[in-house]
Amino acid sequence: MIPVVALVGRPNVGKSTLFNRLTRSNDALVADMPGVTRDRKYGEGRVGSHGFIVVDTGGISGNEDGIDAVMAGQSLLAIEEADVVLLMVDGRAGLNPADEMIAQHLRRQGKTAWVVVNKTDGLDPDVAMGDFYALGLQALPIAAAHGRGVTSMIEEVLAGYPILEEQEAQVELQSKGIRISVVGRPNVGKSTLVNRMLGEDRVVVYDHAGTTRDSIYIPYERHGKDYTLIDTAGVRRRKSIHEAIEKFSIIKTLQAIRDAHVVVCVLDAREGISEQDLHLLGFVLESGRALVIAVNKWDGMTQEQKDEVRRQLDRRLTFTHFADLHFISALHGTAVGDLYKSVDQAYESAMSKWSTNRLTKLLQDCVQDHQPPMVRGRRIKLRYAHQGGSNPPLFIVHGSMTDELPSSYKRYLENRFADILSIKGTPVRFEFRSGANPFADKPKKLTARQVREQARQRRLVRNIKRRENKG
């Protein structure tokens, strides 16, 4: 079994920097300010011959209240599930009462724990570690930002664990099954929905906009099927974004959309559909991802309010007609389980394969029912079709003068293909290609009769000009 290594400590001691160093990625947000990390973030680490799972956590200071208390709760859960705990401290700041409190908690839990003294670059390691021996745990110096001492530290920490083969150390934590990205504006209930779908308080939920700052990937299994839920930061309008950390959070959200198989877009029924919701849905469509729309906070509304929301949805979401619409309450769990049926159906449609023979016959039937228009006296011809990709389904149609095909006819083909092939929950894309004329660049070779006819025409023109000159 791959060991789980949890990184805990006070805020801003370099836990996320070490997480990125161990996973050889930039998955965790890093900024020179405390409180950037709020949820448990998992990654696959490999240093030398050791493979392990590393858990990044939020900072624990000991005097948390409000959202900080919820963040600290996530860190304590990470300690419970870890095999090895690395208590990170700041070598430049020295020993802090919060460090002593965390070390005492680790001793009570009976966890295998080490003190990792960070930010020792430019310092004498022995002097930097002097204060921390009072914690009663073995101390190791590193400089996470520059990678100094990280390899030797991990090898010493995991010395008692068996060395895993390459294939065993892989993909214990990789995104498995259907990747579901939950997106929306801040404070619409994304993290609450994620916890409800998982059946546990896996991510921080707080009644304050901007609680989630990073994209959290959570693999799990439901009814024998693998899924990976991606909780994302809320996306606000550009003019409302002031903190640099929020800009990076939004970038992570957009990356999570592209990385997903199916996107669940959460709307707030009580606030209605905003322009930002439409922009976000537009980005999902541009990315070509399968889509499920969840209208949250549906409980407690009057029938008149519900009817008004339905009218708004019918009027403003015509461009997402292919997506299933669910009215849910993430807080109470109402209709949340119904999302899985739509997610599975959208994923199956997005990843389906069809033979060239079937697609060509379907194209011929469409053309027979409704011919392409005439252009400059010539009929546009569509000869055959084949599949060019999945997620979203891409159909490539070959013919002549296809660049003249009007958008109305393209929409006709999209709707017919989606209807007959039972494609639901995902957009359908077409690419039209015209065959090149093989004689376009070749000089025309005249027959003997054509040469004589050209000579006769030239003589005729000369005779006409002579008569006009004499006249």
Binding-site residue positions for GTP:
9-16, 56-60, 118-121, 184-191, 231-235, 296-299
Classify residue 9 as left (phi > 0), alpha (psi -120 to 50) or beta. left
The single-letter code of the amino acid at 227 is: Y
Q: Is the peptide bond before 392 cis (omega within 30 degrees of 0)?
A: yes
State whether residue 389 is helix, strand or coil.
Answer: strand
CA dist 23 and 7 (Å) reads: 13
Q: What residues are paired with 430 via a beta bridge?
A: 395
Classify residue 189 as left (phi > 0), alpha (psi -120 to 50) or beta. left
Give whole-number Cα distances, 172 to 252, 415, 438, in Å: 23, 41, 54
- Please state the separation of Cα 197 from the chain's center in Å: 18
Helix (H) or strand (E) holding 43: strand 41-47
Q: What residues are paired with 291 via a beta bridge?
A: 263
Helix (H) or strand (E) holding 66: none
Give binding residues as ranges: 9-16, 56-60, 118-121, 184-191, 231-235, 296-299
State whether residue 340 is helix, strand or coil.
Answer: helix
